Structure 1
Amino acid sequence: MKTITVRASSWGSLFDCGFRWEGVHLLGIKSPSSPRALLGTAIHASTAAFDAARVTGEKLSTFDAAEHLVQTLRHPEFDVDWRGADITPREAEVTGLALHTRYCDEISPRYHYVAVELETRPLEIDCGGGVIVRLTGTLDRARIKRDAGGVGIADLKTGTAAVTSEGVAKTKGHRPQVGTYELLYEHTTGEPCTAPAEIIGLKTKGKPVAATGEIHGARELMVGNDQFPGLIQIGADMFRSGLFPPNPQSFTCNPKYCARWGACPYKDG
Structure 2
Amino acid sequence: MSVTTVRASSWGSLFDCAYKWEWIHILGHRSPSSGRAHLGTAIHAGTAAFDVSRMNGSNLTAYDTAEMLLHTLRNPEHDVDWRADKLTLNEAERIALPLHTRYCNEISPRYEFVAVERTAKPLDIDCGGGIVIRLTGQLDRARICKAGDGKGIADVKSGGAAVVDGIAKTKGHSPQIGTYEILEEHTTGEPCTAPAHIIGLKTRGKPETGIGEIRGAKAMMVGTEEFPGLIQIGAEMFRTGLFPPNPQSFLCSAKYCPRWSVCPYHE
- What is the TM-score when the length of structure 1 is the normalising length? 0.97
Q: Which residue of 2 aligns with 1:116?
A: 116
Q: Which residue of 2 is the match for residue 206 of structure 1?
A: 205
- What is the CA distance between 1:50 and its match in structure 2? 0.5
Instruction: Show CA shifts across 1:173-206 (max 9, x none).
Output: 0001011111111011111000000000000000
Question: 1:219/1:191 Cα in 2 relative to 1: closer, same or farther (>3 Å)?
Answer: same
Distance in 2 separating the partners of 1:180 and 1:59: 31
Cα pair 2:127 2:239 within 8 Å, conserved: no
Match of 1:90 in 2: 90
Provide closer, same or farther for how the CA distance between residues 4 and 84 of structure 1 changes in structure 2, counting only shifts above 3 A: closer
Aligned to 1:235: 234
> How much has 1:227 moved relative to structure 2?
1.1
Off by >3 Å, runs of 4+ in structure 1 = none
> Aligned equivalents of 1:143 and 1:67: distance in 2?
21
- Structure-to-structure mapping, 1:132-211, within 5 angstroms: 132-148=132-148, 150-164=150-164, 166-211=165-210
User: Per-residue deviation at 1:2?
Assistant: 2.1
Q: Which moved more, 1:84-93 or 1:101-110?
A: 84-93
Q: Determine the C-alpha separation between the residues in 2 that align with 1:263 and 1:127.
A: 29
Which residue does 1:244 correspond to in 2? Answer: 243
Corresponding residue of 1:57: 57
Corresponding position of 1:17? 17
What do residues 17-45 of structure 1 show as CA deviations (whole Å, max 9, x unaligned)? 11100000000011011100010000000
Q: Structure 1: how far apart are the matches of 2:32 and 2:87?
A: 16
The count of aligned residue pairs is: 267
Per-residue deviation at 1:226? 0.9
Partners in 2 of 1:2 and 1:214 — Cα distance? 37
Distance apart, 1:78 and its partner CA: 0.7
Secondary structure at the residue paired with 2:244? Answer: coil
3-state SS of 1:14 partner = helix
Rounded Cα–Cα distance in structure 1 between residues aligned with 2:176 and 2:82: 28
Aligned 8 A contact 2:127 2:238 in 1: no
1:107-162 Cα shifts (integer Å, max 9, x gaps)? 00000001101111101122323222211111111000002151000000000010
Q: How far apart, CA to CA, are the structure 2 residues paired with 1:121 and 1:255?
A: 35
Aligned to 1:76: 76
Using a 3 Å threshold, how does the CA distance of structure 1 residues 65 and 248 change in structure 2: closer, same or farther?
same
Query: For the aligned residues, what is the CA RMSD?
Result: 1.1
Counterpart residue number, 1:130: 130
| Whole-angstrom distance in 1 between the partners of 2:128 and 2:262 | 33
Amino acid at match of 1:103: Y
Q: Percent identity, aligned pairs only?
A: 66
Instruction: Indicate conservation of the 8 Å contact 1:152/1:193, yes or no.
Output: yes
Matched letter for residue 58 of structure 1: S
The answer on whether the counterparts of 2:158 and 2:203 sit within 8 Å (CA) in structure 1 is yes
Identify unmatched segments of 5+ residues in structure 1.
none
Give 3-state SS (helix, strand or coil) of 1:127's partner.
strand
Deviation at 1:59, TM superposition (A): 2.9
Q: Which residue of 1 aligns with 2:45?
A: 45
User: C-alpha separation between the residues in 2 aligned to 1:201 and 1:86?
Assistant: 23
Deviation of 1:87 after TM superposition, in Å, equals 2.5
* C-alpha separation in 1, matches of 2:22 and 2:214: 27
Normalised TM-score (structure 2):
0.97
Looking at structure 1, the residues matched to 46 and 66 of structure 2 have their Cα atoms a distance apart, in angstroms, of: 5
Letter in structure 2 aligned against 1:186: E
| Structure 1 contact 8–176 (Cα < 8 Å) conserved | no
**8 Å Cα contact 2:128-2:239 kept in structure 1:** no
Q: Unmatched 5+ residue regions in structure 2?
A: none
Aligned partners of 2:227 and 2:3: how far apart in 1? 24
The Cα of 1:103 is off from its aligned counterpart by: 0.1
Q: Distance in 2 between matches of 1:207 and 1:32?
A: 27
Q: Does 1:267 align with 2:266?
A: yes
Distance 1:264 1:85 in 2: 23
> How far did 1:171 drift?
0.4
- CA deviation map 1:32-81 (0-9, x unaligned): 11100010000000000000111111131110100011111111111011
